[in-house]
Amino acid sequence: MHGWYRRSADGQRLTLDLYIQPNAGKTEVAGLHDGALKIKVATPPTDHQANDKLLDFLRKSFKVNKKQVILKQGEHARH
């Protein structure tokens, strides 16, 4: 384990521990927060808007397609 991220044994999967701040001025990485990577998201947390914006931000950042980024847990939480 490397703090806020983990690679699978085969190197095919990357799991990120994130702390999300909705309602930010813009969507961006904001450093570390309690051992997690903090990402500010420029949308409210209602109707899954912040989760959708986060997943889109991660897809674009890692240059991967929609099926390659999933939310494993924390659908209704900041972590």
Per-residue pLDDT, averaged over 62-76, amounts to: 92
> Where in the sequence is the domain holding 39, given as residue range(s)?
18-66
Query: What's the angle, vertex CA 61, arms to CA 10 and CA 7, rounded to 5?
Result: 20
Q: Please give the pLDDT value at position 79.
A: 87
What's the domain count of the chain? 1
Question: Is beta strand 14-16 parallel, antiparallel or unpaired with respect to 18-21?
Answer: unpaired
Mean pLDDT, rounded, of the chain:
93
4 pLDDT band, cuts 50/70/90, is very high
> pTM for the whole thing?
0.89
- Residue 29 to residue 55: CA distance in whole angstroms: 13
Asked whether residue 78 is domain-assigned, the answer is no
pLDDT digits 0-9 by tens, 38-64: 999 999 999 889 999 999 999 999 999
Asked whether residue 6 is domain-assigned, the answer is no
